[in-house]
Structure 1
Amino acid sequence: MDLFDSMHTFVRVVERGSFSAVARELNMGQPAVSKQIRALEQYLGGPLFARSTRHLALTDQGQRFYSHCQEILGHLETATLGFARGQERIAGPLKVTAPVSYGRLCIAPLIGTFLQRHPDVRIDLRLSDHNEDLLKENIDLAIRIGAVKSEGLVAVSLGTSPRRVYAAPAYLDRHGQPCEPDELTAHNCIGFTLLEHYDTWHFKHSAGALDVAIKGNVTSNSSEAIREMVLSGLGISLSPEWLFAADVEQGNVHSVLNDYETTALPVSAVFSRERRRSARVMAFVDFLRERL
């Protein structure tokens, strides 16, 4: 019995929930898959699945072994791909997508440095505030802000995006500056609709946590549009620091409620499992992790 091969088959059975589905995936008969799992159980000295149930269910020992298998096989894949990438020349086309504002302000300025390191790579940077279908559009890498829910994709953390509450001086002159989060209910708050629960802003303070249900006469799915509306004095927004950094420095916008911490958004590099074998994709991911 090949232990690593059997562990891989076991993990796929758990993830697919069916012996027959894994048999089709691995181009082998279902009896062969069952035999491999039985041999693994004999090697371990106990059952991995509860056979009395109508559906596949892991035993307690099976659940623990599954967690260990994921970790072990993940390390093995990382080591294998790392060795292969070390032999592969970093060159060729690289299609990257990112949110419009984040791509313009945070990703585009880094492209030149990356290409200095890897001059044989050709980058096609596509900016969109909608999550592109990576497989359909043949995209190598997507930069996503917020929770990543796409199944079948690999997400690598690039860090987090801290947020603050922003308003233009003209707006604050007309409506006053909120000193406590609950005072936001009396203000015109602009919601970013691409985020879940965009109409509830979460704050933390030494005294505890607070959720505020915000209200306003405008929402948008574009952070660029929200920035322009804040600059025009229309209302208040909860936005990433990078979106208003230059405006704050120039005095065109003020951050308020600075004694309160807001929830930072995760920033991830997302790609298909097949792209993990690409030296240029992983080189760009490593570069972004270093810089971001």
Structure 2
Amino acid sequence: MRKPSLDDLNIFIVAANQRSLTATAATLKMTIATVSRRISALEATLGIELLYRSTKGLTLTPHGESYYRECEELVLALDQRILDLDQALHSLSGPLKIMAPVNLGSGPLDAFWRHFIHRYPDIALTIELDNNVVDIRDHQADIALRSGPQKDSTLIQKYLGYIEPVLVASPTMKHSLPHTVEELQACPSVAAKMFSEWQLFHQAGSQHACHKGHFHISNDMNIVLNLTKSGAGIALMPASMVANSLQAGELIRVLPEWRGRHREIFLVWPYRRSLSARAKLFRSELIEFLSQQAWFHSAG
């Protein structure tokens, strides 16, 4: 047997309260014919008559009276729940959980987090940093920043732009700096484990695969940054991580005409989940912030 729809139940509840097809139609912004047809369809589904129709209006039958008592509380509770969810979705106050890679969320985005909580003090942020690609639904996150396109087809992906890895060194490094990409091979270097293969791209379009042994290697980019600033060698690092050190004179660019492979940055969220007003606000504020950063190349 076909189950009654929630819409039809709601029409019946309103009709029982209004006791008039005309008033019910006006309340629900439907035609009288539609209201009458939907009530008749509900009665046919249940196999009972719910309402007496007369020139004076609508009256509940004994079956209708019983069914009304059973359904009214459930329908009203559901309506309230939908209203609560709608308010939570559209409210600019409340929780917002964001996931991001460690070396982007901490450091390059420090100023953004400060700006965001100052401007929107009623949004309670939970910021979870993880370089592993984890399921944001399992972590109950609203939205996530990711490096590189995601294979998960159940995620909506918004391309924000890219970050270029650049070659840097400390001005105090004892070894002489290379003047050509070929000379780079003989220079001491520091590398992050995930970026130990240096594929370099010239601004004129040529490429160079730099197969070299690195003197120091770490799985933490901040350690690589600190070792590089101490003069341990040349490093290939995201421009986002070295921008402040370059500005402060702690690092200098090496072979500035060469860069590493772009790191494409995406925002992702579950395909079947509506973004809350808070998540939409975060998205627009982040896009605006990134567009103002010299180390970020925003999408057109």
TM class, shorter-length: 0.5 to 0.7
Instruction: Report the CA distance between 1:234 and its aligned residue.
Output: 1.8
Partner of 2:184: 184
Instruction: Report the CA distance between 1:257 and its aligned residue.
Output: 0.2
More divergent stretch after superposition (207-216 vs 159-168): 207-216
Equivalent of residue 97 in structure 1, options 86, 99, 113: 99
2:258 is matched by which residue type in structure 1?
A: Y
Check conservation: 1:159, 1:289, Cα contact below 8 A: no
**For structure 2, which runs of at least 5 residues remain unmatched after alignment?**
1-85, 291-300
1:146 is matched by which residue type in structure 2?
A: G
3-state SS of 1:281 partner: helix
Check conservation: 1:129, 1:221, Cα contact below 8 A: no
TM-score by length of 2: 0.60
Partner of 1:238: 236
With over 3 angstroms needed to count, the CA separation of the structure-2 counterparts of 1:113 and 1:181, relative to structure 1, is same
Instruction: Report the CA distance between 1:214 and its aligned residue.
Output: 3.0
Equivalent of residue 261 in structure 2, options 243, 260, 263: 263
After superposition, the C-alpha distances for 1:148-191 in whole angstroms (9 at most, x for unaligned) are: 334422221222112210111232xx221111122222123333
Q: d(CA) in 2 for partners of 1:154 and 1:192?
A: 30
**For structure 1, which runs of at least 5 residues remain unmatched after alignment?**
1-83
Partner of 2:208: 210
Equivalent of residue 283 in structure 1, options 281, 284, 291: 281
Give the structure with the higher percent helix.
1
Q: d(CA) in 2 for partners of 1:113 and 1:291?
A: 9
Check conservation: 2:169, 2:233, Cα contact below 8 A: yes
Partner of 2:125: 123
3-state SS of 1:129 partner: coil
1:228 is matched by which residue type in structure 2?
A: N
1:192 is matched by which residue type in structure 2?
A: A
Instruction: Report the CA distance between 1:143 and its aligned residue.
Output: 1.5
Q: d(CA) in 2 for partners of 1:242 and 1:277?
A: 27
Number of equivalences: 204
The 5-angstrom pairing of residues 68-79 of structure 1 reads none
Pairwise CA RMSD of aligned residues?
A: 2.5
TM-score by length of 1: 0.62
2:265 is matched by which residue type in structure 1?
A: V
3-state SS of 2:244 partner: helix
The 5-angstrom pairing of residues 115-194 of structure 1 reads 115-171=117-173, 174-194=174-194
3-state SS of 2:172 partner: helix
Partner of 2:220: 222
2:182 is matched by which residue type in structure 1?
A: D
Q: d(CA) in 2 for partners of 1:228 and 1:155?
A: 33
3-state SS of 1:289 partner: helix
Check conservation: 2:99, 2:128, Cα contact below 8 A: yes
2:148 is matched by which residue type in structure 1?
A: G
Q: d(CA) in 1 for partners of 2:110 and 2:259?
A: 28
The 5-angstrom pairing of residues 241-256 of structure 1 reads 241-256=239-254
Runs of 4+ with >6 A deviation: none
Q: d(CA) in 2 for partners of 1:193 and 1:109?
A: 27
Q: Answer with 1 or 2: which has the greater Rg.
A: 2
With over 3 angstroms needed to count, the CA separation of the structure-2 counterparts of 1:108 and 1:207, relative to structure 1, is closer
1:273 is matched by which residue type in structure 2?
A: Y
Check conservation: 1:144, 1:268, Cα contact below 8 A: yes
Q: d(CA) in 2 for partners of 1:185 and 1:265?
A: 23
Check conservation: 1:203, 1:210, Cα contact below 8 A: yes
Instruction: Report the CA distance between 1:261 and its aligned residue.
Output: 4.0
With over 3 angstroms needed to count, the CA separation of the structure-2 counterparts of 1:104 and 1:277, relative to structure 1, is closer
Q: d(CA) in 1 for partners of 2:93 and 2:281?
A: 10
Check conservation: 1:129, 1:222, Cα contact below 8 A: no
3-state SS of 2:207 partner: strand
1:167 is matched by which residue type in structure 2?
A: A
Q: d(CA) in 1 for partners of 2:153 and 2:190?
A: 31
Q: d(CA) in 1 for partners of 2:194 and 2:280?
A: 27
Instruction: Report the CA distance between 1:210 and its aligned residue.
Output: 2.3
